[in-house]
Amino acid sequence: MTKFEFKKYPVFTDGEIDVVVDQEYPAKHKKGVQWPPTYYFNILRHGSMERIGRLSLGIGYNDYMVKYNGQCGFFIKKEFRGHRYAAKACLLIKQVAINYHMDVIWIACNPENVASRRTCEILGCTLVEIIDVPRDSFLYKEGNYKSCRYRWILY
């Protein structure tokens, strides 16, 4: 197996928001899950350091990520919601996944999370299924008993 290497990326921008790599976490085993190497991005107002949200992208595939947790996660601060910033940020970092030869990103969310589900729809994701989260997982212990599995085909 070849050693994973994080790549350096410039600021991704669409003129409205900027998406900047904030942290890089190597693969690790935590909370009973094997986590892939993961990029964490700050979502900023264009041309400023005002953070409006966060985005993560796990590189590679494993059963837990594909079925329950997803490879891409996003959060927008309450006062900035309603502008499709999460979807815009996902589109901006899509190339990162493609650079690692990923052709699909799995996104998981709680069925009651209307905003995340709407973001998936805006991205053109397909809802594959809503599944039960395993009782022994940290997601279940945090109150997430079901998970929507969305598939985002990149190309």
- Distances from the Cα of 117 to the Cαs of 32, 100, 125, 132, in angstroms? 26, 25, 9, 17
Q: How many domains does the chain have?
A: 1
pLDDT band at 32 (very low <50, low <70, confident <90, very high): confident
> Does residue 42 form part of some domain?
yes
At 1 the pLDDT is: 53
At 33 the pLDDT is: 84
What is the CA 145 to chain-centroid distance, rounded?
19
3-class SS of residue 48: coil
pLDDT per residue as tens digits for the range 73-90: 999 999 999 999 999 999
> Does residue 38 form part of some domain?
yes
> Does residue 16 form part of some domain?
yes
> Does residue 5 form part of some domain?
no
> Does residue 4 form part of some domain?
no
> Does residue 127 form part of some domain?
yes
Whichever domain contains 106, its CATH number is 3.40.630.30
Q: How far apart are CA 85 and CA 76, in angstroms?
A: 7
Q: Which domain holds residue 21?
A: 12-153
- Distances from the Cα of 84 to the Cαs of 21, 76, 137, in angstroms? 20, 9, 30
> Does residue 128 form part of some domain?
yes
> Does residue 6 form part of some domain?
no
Kindly report the pTM of this predicted structure: 0.94
Percent of the residues in the chain that have a pLDDT greater than 70, as a whole number: 99
